[in-house]
Amino acid sequence: MFQERSYSFEFFPAKTEAGHEKLLDTARQLAAYKPDFFSCTYGAGGSTRDRTVSTVLQLNDEVQVSTAPHLSCVGDSKAELRQLLNLYKDAGIRRIVALRGDLPSGMGLASGELRYANELVGFIREETGDHFHIEIAAYPEMHPQARNFEADIANFVRKAQAGASSAITQYFFNVDSYFYFVERVRKLGVDIPVVPGIMPITNYSKLARFSDACGAEIPRWVRKQLEAYGDDSDSIRAYGEQVVSEMCERLLQGGAPGLHFYTMNLAGPSLAIWNNLKLSA
């Protein structure tokens, strides 16, 4: 059965007024390409809650692209989560990215009434029925805090079976890891779309730090070439654009159900890849 592909862009709430204006400018540029939706992240333990809410509502209403807030359960009570769900529902939001969320430093594991993302997905379904399209996270190269790959796969299956509509992966640069992950979960009965998360390469040192922290492997041949460019930012961007564009081509040719771009609040790097792929606007 043919399934329409989904293309989307992710933002993080800005800390300053200037940063917020830049975010809105980026969103307006990307809106011209008619993405299926935007998403907006949620800081550790809900630390950006107010900024996430205001950004989501502004993107949804003013930029007029359906926007999915990230919602995490660590540190929030059921009453607080219920309040947010009702706020989003009343505002006409129809999609949510449901995550366990990061624990702020010093916060104990037991914080919050819901500890795991599958519990959050179940809670959203209990509270709101089928109102929301619920996205969950997938980790083709394993969540950095998982005991092992088998445990991580089992965790993903629990989240999906709790009532998820589709999944977005952590970014990766190893296409085979994505296809292997999808093959594994399909054999376990999970048939929801698993959309690859795409991270444009623009700054090698930042990418390396971020990738080490979140468990995304940069293949040795990519690392070595990026290292060889040193401080030549133009060459890093050009090479990164080529590598990621070719990776996206392989993903789409292999049947991936769309692409989700981690924009870092910048339009140019994601649009360069979009245009290389000749995706329709």
44 burial via Cβ count (<10 Å: 0-12, 13-18, 19+): middle
- The token pair at 39 is 């998403």
Q: ∠ at Cα 112 (108, 113), nearest 5°?
A: 130
CB 213 within 8 A of CB 144: yes
Do residues 214 and 144 touch, judged by C-beta distance below 8 A?
Answer: yes
Q: HSE on the CB side for 3, CA within 13 Å? A: 14
Indicate the pairing of strand 95-99 with strand 6-11: unpaired
Residues with a catalytic annotation lie at 10
